[in-house]
């Protein structure tokens, strides 16, 4: 099956300013959403997509206000349904570049069903999940990603809900693209968003985002400058999985699981360190990478990027085939088909 591209490229060289809307941005000062918006606005010019062909679809929540702040077509819909609405937009007009923005509650609680099915179909959508592990717009209730045991307004004795890891959900739903980034590293965010846009099929970017009002520092254990290099690893396709301030730590597969090792200690050499391959079809290793945390560094960058014919292409191929070779050329043909008679 030959690969087809449905979104036309633009000849115009856009800048970030071309995508900045005239609306006042109303997020709290210091909110991680500002940085994500900025990264997104920096991404659009790099995709060379005609401005008119970009559609931003969101659900409900703080992050879902984003369509108002981007000067494209936009749809600020209802809670949890952004993926479903975006699917309709793309099916009605495959020439549109469709971006979906949701928070953790929006995408994985009320909208969980739509998210996994959009991923399963490999519908050509660029999905960004702003994960601050809390319901911010309703002022501080626990979400499906809130850490186990955390005290929030609706869990005064600590949550007893085990959280979702968005990456694992993506893998479980046979997702073809998953990347993770931090709101406070805009260059990485722009980089993975650009990669997501290039991907044919459903791409999911999880941004670990800080809500300074209701869940401040929830990601601090990995994002603080003092620890970031040791607690995170930025994966790059084809390169050894090395991390740490001194760039001397790496990931090794010990036959049972991943482990962090120090190069030069206990006989470990660079040759022992795993090479990242984002294109492996089997989800096993990507699942392990997405799962990392605790003693292992949290994986950032593009964790999985697998080629699989997108729903968009499968759909359009069938449409084209039927439009060309199908039985009926117009509705009159259909009305007069089969058993009919004259009175």
Partner 1 sequence: MSQDQIVNKDDLVVRFAGDSGDGMQLSGTLFSDASALTGNDIATFPDYPAEIRAPHNTIAGVSGYQVHVGSHIYSSGDKCDILVAMNPAAFKSQLKWAKKGATVIVDADTFTPDALEKAGYNENPFTEEFERAYTIVHAPITSFTAKIGESQGVDKKTTEKCRNMFALGMIFFLTNKTLEKTFAYLERKFAKKPDVVKLNKAVLSEGYEYAEKLELIHSKIVSIANADKMEHGRYRNITGNVATAWGLLAASERSGRRLFLGSYPITPATDVMVELAKHKSLGARVFQAEDEIAGICSAIGASFAGALACTSTSGPGLSLKSEALGLAVMTELPLVVVDVQRGGPSTGLPTKTEQSDLNQALYGRNGEAPLIVVAASSSANCFYWAYTAAKLALEHMTPVILLTDGYLGNGSQLFRIPKVADLPAITPRLAKPNDPNFRPFRRDPETFAREWALPGMEGLRHRVGGLEKCPDGPLSTDPENHALMTKNRQEKVDRVANYIPDQEVTGNPDADLLVVGWGGTSGALTLAVEEMNNEGKKVAYTHFNYICPLPKNTGDILRKYKKIVVCELNNGQFAGYLRTQYPECPMTQYNKVMGLPFEVGELKDEFNKLLGE
- Closest separation between CB of residue 313 and partner 1, Å? 15
Q: Which two structure tokens, joined as six digits, stand for 246?
A: 């001194």
Q: Which two structure tokens, joined as six digits, stand for 52?
A: 């008119």
Q: Please count the residues of this chain forming the interface with partner 1, following the rule CB under 8 A.
A: 57
Residue 17 or 92: the one with the smaller Cβ distance to partner 1 is: 92
- Closest separation between CB of residue 20 and partner 1, Å? 12
**Burial classification of residue 155, based on how many CB atoms lie within 10 Å of its CB (0-12 exposed, 13-18 middle, 19 or more buried):** middle
**Burial classification of residue 28, based on how many CB atoms lie within 10 Å of its CB (0-12 exposed, 13-18 middle, 19 or more buried):** middle
* 336 makes contact with partner 1 (CB under 8 A): yes
* 55 makes contact with partner 1 (CB under 8 A): yes
d(CA 84, CA 328): 30
- Closest separation between CB of residue 109 and partner 1, Å? 14
* 17 makes contact with partner 1 (CB under 8 A): no
- Closest separation between CB of residue 222 and partner 1, Å? 33
Tell me the angle at which helices 82-92 and 311-325 cross, rounded to the nearest 10 degrees. 30
Q: What is the DSSP letter of 320?
A: H
Q: What is the DSSP letter of 284?
A: H
Residue 24 or 187: the one with the smaller Cβ distance to partner 1 is: 24
* 11 makes contact with partner 1 (CB under 8 A): no
d(CA 217, CA 258): 27
- Closest separation between CB of residue 328 and partner 1, Å? 5
Strand boundaries in 104-241, DSSP class E? 126-131, 177-182, 203-208, 232-235
Q: Which two structure tokens, joined as six digits, stand for 249?
A: 């730590």
Residue 17 or 323: the one with the smaller Cβ distance to partner 1 is: 323
Residue 265 or 339: the one with the smaller Cβ distance to partner 1 is: 339
d(CA 247, CA 230): 9
Site for partner 1 in 19-48 (CB under 8 A): 23
* 1 makes contact with partner 1 (CB under 8 A): no
**Burial classification of residue 41, based on how many CB atoms lie within 10 Å of its CB (0-12 exposed, 13-18 middle, 19 or more buried):** buried
d(CA 17, CA 45): 10
Q: What mask of x and - would describe binding to partner 1 in positions 107 to 136, judged by CB under 8 A?
A: ------xx--x-------------------
Which range touches partner 1 (CB under 8 A), out of 9-17, 75-83, 176-184, 212-220? 75-83
* 213 makes contact with partner 1 (CB under 8 A): no
* 332 makes contact with partner 1 (CB under 8 A): yes
Q: Is 108:66 a contact under the CB 8 Å cutoff? A: no
d(CA 66, CA 24): 11
- Closest separation between CB of residue 312 and partner 1, Å? 12
* 81 makes contact with partner 1 (CB under 8 A): yes
Q: Which of 5, 12, 15, 93 binds partner 1 (CB under 8 A)?
A: 93
Q: Which residues bind partner 1 (CB under 8 A)?
A: 23, 51-55, 57, 60, 67-68, 71-78, 81, 84-93, 95-96, 113-114, 117, 315, 318-319, 321-323, 325-332, 334-336, 338-343
């Amino acid at each position: 099956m030959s690969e087809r591209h449905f979104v036309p490229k633009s000849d115009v060289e856009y800048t970030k300013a071309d995508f900045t809307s005239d609306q006042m941005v109303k997020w709290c000062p210091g909110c991680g959403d500002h940085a994500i918006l900025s990264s997104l606005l920096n991404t659009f010019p790099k995709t060379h997509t005609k401005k008119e062909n970009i559609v931003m679809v969101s659900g409900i929540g703080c992050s879902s206000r984003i369509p108002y702040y981007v000067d494209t077509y936009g749809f600020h819909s209802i809670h949890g349904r952004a993926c479903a609405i975006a699917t309709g937009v793309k099916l009605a007009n495959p020439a549109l570049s469709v971006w979906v923005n949701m928070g953790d509650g929006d995408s994985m609680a009320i909208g969980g069903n739509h998210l996994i099915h959009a991923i399963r179909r490999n519908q050509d959508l660029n999905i960004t999940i702003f994960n601050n592990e809390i319901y911010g717009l309703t002022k501080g209730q626990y979400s499906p990603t809130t850490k186990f045991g955390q005290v929030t307004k609706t869990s005064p004795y600590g949550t007893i809900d085990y959280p979702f890891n968005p990456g694992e959900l993506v893998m479980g739903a046979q997702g073809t693209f998953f990347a993770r980034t931090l709101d406070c590293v805009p260059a990485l965010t722009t980089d993975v968003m650009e990669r997501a846009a290039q991907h044919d099929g459903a791409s999911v970017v999880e941004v670990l985002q800080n809500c300074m009002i209701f869940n401040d520092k929830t990601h601090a254990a990995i994002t603080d400058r003092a620890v970031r290099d040791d607690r995170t690893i930025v994966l790059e396709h084809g390169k050894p999985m090395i991390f740490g301030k001194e760039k001397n730590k790496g990931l090794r597969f010990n036959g049972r699981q991943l482990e962090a090792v120090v190069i030069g200690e206990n006989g470990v050499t660079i040759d022992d360190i795993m090479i990242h391959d984002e294109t492996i079809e089997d989800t096993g290793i990507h699942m392990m990478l997405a799962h990392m945390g605790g003693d292992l560094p949290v994986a950032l960058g593009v964790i999985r990027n697998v080629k699989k014919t997108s729903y968009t292409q499968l759909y359009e191929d069938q449409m084209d085939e039927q439009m060309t070779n199908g039985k009926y050329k117009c509705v009159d043909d259909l009305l007069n088909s089969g058993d009919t008679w004259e009175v």
